[in-house]
Chains A and B, each alone.
Chain A
Amino acid sequence: MAIKDLTTAQARRPFQRRRKTCPFTGPNAPKIDYKDVRLLQRYVSERGKIVPSRISAVSSLKQRILAQAIKRARFLGIMPYAVG
């Protein structure tokens, strides 16, 4: 009985946040491409750093692919290593 009370209390938190899903998973998900700067630009901060997946909700597999694509774009000079 005591255990059940505890679990219901945890489920009814005041701030219920919608579970974010990976933007690169599922149907009509965009293909990660190092040439697509507009897509990659959304996953770097204003300073040009790669946004951690815990914030952008990208799955860990796609985050690795995404990071590789951003690094390729940086090497080619189409994205900055650092801004400012």
Chain B
Amino acid sequence: MALYEHIYLARQDVSPQQVEDLTNALTAVLVEGGGKVTKNEYWGLKSLSYRIKKNRKAHYSLLNIDAPAPAVAEMERQMRINEDILRFMTVRVDELEEGPSAMMQKRDRDDDRSDRPGGSRGGFGRDDRGSRPPRRF
């Protein structure tokens, strides 16, 4: 079976409990298709960098999946129908990572970098050319 990382974004006005139910429902679809979910991470309600379907925030969930492709395709089909799901992305990986992902570790690393001068985008900002000029044709 193939390994996948799957992230989906749920609408901001659903409750975390509903997101959990949704994850369980999607897991059930995968199990029915002969797969399994090895890790389930809920990242919480995070603000988006830009508006997606009129939403400024979204509930993020990460699933590590070990399932055959038809099961994943069926799950994605159902996600497209569900209006609570704003967006999803499935990435095929060679190996699934153990332990919490970079997103969950982020808070610890914020602390040990706080003593550094400058922002997170220190190095290369000066060389920016600005926005693209309008196209001629």
By a CB distance below 8 angstroms, the chain A residues around B106 are: 37-38
The 8 A CB mask of B26-66 against A (1 = contact, 0 = none) is 00000000000000000000101110100000101010000
By a CB distance below 8 angstroms, the chain A residues around B62 are: 35
In the complex, whether A67 has a CB less than 8 A from a CB of chain B is: no
B128-A81 in contact (CB<8A): no
Q: How far is the CA of A47 from the CA of B124 in the complex (A)?
A: 11
Q: How many A-B residue pairs have CB under 8 A?
A: 75
List residues of B (108-137) whose CB comes within 8 Å of A's CBs.
109-110, 113, 120-125, 127-128, 130-131
By a CB distance below 8 angstroms, the chain A residues around B7 are: 35, 76
B121-A45 in contact (CB<8A): yes
B128-A45 in contact (CB<8A): yes
B124-A45 in contact (CB<8A): yes
Q: Among A43, A45, A77, which residue has its beta carbon within 8 angstroms of that of B127?
A: A45
Residue total for A at the interface (Cβ-Cβ under 8 A): 28
Distance to closest chain B CB from A24 (angstroms): 15
Q: How far is the CA of A70 from the CA of B106 in the complex (A)?
A: 17
By a CB distance below 8 angstroms, the chain B residues around A64 are: none
Contact-residue size bin, chain B (C-beta under 8 Å from the other chain)? 20 to 34
A35-B128 in contact (CB<8A): no
Not counting A38-B110, A51-B124, a sample of 16 additional A-B residue pairs whose C-beta atoms are within 8 angstroms of each other reads A35-B7, A35-B62, A35-B101, A37-B102, A37-B106, A38-B106, A38-B113, A39-B102, A42-B123, A43-B124, A45-B128, A51-B127, A76-B7, A77-B9, A80-B49, A81-B49
> Residues of B with Cβ closer than 8 Å to A?
7, 9, 46, 48-50, 52, 58, 60, 62, 87, 89, 91, 101-103, 106, 109-110, 113, 120-125, 127-128, 130-131
> Residues of A with Cβ closer than 8 Å to B?
33-39, 41-47, 49, 51, 55-56, 72, 74-82
18 A-B residue pairs with CB within 8 Å: A33-B102, A36-B102, A37-B102, A37-B106, A38-B102, A38-B113, A39-B102, A42-B121, A42-B123, A43-B124, A45-B124, A45-B125, A45-B127, A47-B128, A47-B130, A56-B124, A74-B49, A81-B50
